[in-house]
Structure 1
Amino acid sequence: SKSKGNVVDPNDVVDEYGADVLRTYVLFMGDYEKAAPWSKSSVKGCKRFIDRVWALQDILTEGDEYSKELESAFHKTIKKVSEDIEGMKFNTAIAALMTLLNDIYNKGSINNAELKTFVTLLNPFAPHVTEEIWAAQNYGGMLANGHWVDYDEAKCVDDEIEIVAQINGKVRAKLMIPAEIESAEAIELAKKDPAIAAAIEGKNVVKELYVKGRLVNIVVK
């Protein structure tokens, strides 16, 4: 009960952090159908997230298409958030947006096309700040009345993937390879890795195996 101090008054949270932070935290704190403990530190984390979203306007540039560096990340996030909203997996949808936000800041800039998409995806969770950004940038109309964003399935596939390279079943290296590489090429790339090259030098290669998208294993004696 409130008299015992073991409940949280949402009005207090709104007064201190704002309605968007409360909404985002409640939807992010765990599985929508399960109970989860209240964490003030996590509320503060959502406040930092919303503040960073607002600050995207400080690194905004011109551009009506996704940048090459972020194109795949945006298409993947649109797909993830769209599917998670349909499945009421709001916590993982918000987590995907947090990851995309980190990618944007790592790049150091965001263009208009990217900002429009980002705030559209975030709008169901944080409607106030996203509408304010939309209005501040003169994008026209109300964001909530606009169209949802589409994604290209082909652009949700990684061009490169990370695999492990093993010698006799033990991991000796990790390397990035083209996603659609042939088995022989993957094995040759693994052999060129310094750690793998050193491990097989002077030894008899008994077997070579490439498990697509996962690993190269070289058996030596």
Structure 2
Amino acid sequence: MSKGVRSRRTVRNAETMAYVVVTLAAAAAVTILAGCQKVEPLAVAGKAASSASVTTSSSSASSQPTSEASTSSPPPPTSTRPPTQPSTRPPAPPVKAKRIFWQNLKPGMCVRNPSNASVLYITVVDCSATHDAEVTLRALLTGTRKWPGDDAVDAAAEARCNAAFASYVGVPFEQSRLETDFYTTDRTGWSAGDRRLICLVYDPDNTSLTRSLRGSHL
């Protein structure tokens, strides 16, 4: 039985008040003068009353805004822009994903890393959707029937993946900022004759990719 994935990577403001004070003595004097004389006191009294009336009215006018002042403010601006219409653009279609047995992966497939190394099926998505790596090579390792050990298998896999890197990405592995990874079988699968190798490329600076790295020259 082969292992699923064997991989290296994981207010208050101040107020003002106005007061108009009319003394009782002045009021009494006006009353006496009005009683002693016929016309002139009345004129004086009327003038005084008129003056008092004007003063009071002036005070009232100064303490209260006039209707002209209140109507002199410009009206609020009116927008001529038509009301925003709701978008009629259809929602983006859901990402199409499929699960493929890891040994059946092919170059050009974009994959999402499995949650653990025992998963036998890998999620494949369109390369324009969020993914973690891209398949660059599907090959077979060579060797004896006896398990050579993890280090030997990893070294052989790395050499094959790095050799295939340039033809897929467009630049030699040593000159690229991208990295390689791979899926291989385990001891049990190797003893049963399984030598499958799946090479991957990924961007260490970008956890999630949304494009193909084929011919990217990165």
Report 1 or 2 for greater relative contact order, CA contacts < 8 Å, sequence distance ≥ 6.
Answer: 2
TM norm structure 2: 0.20
TM norm structure 1: 0.20
Structure ID, larger Rg: 2
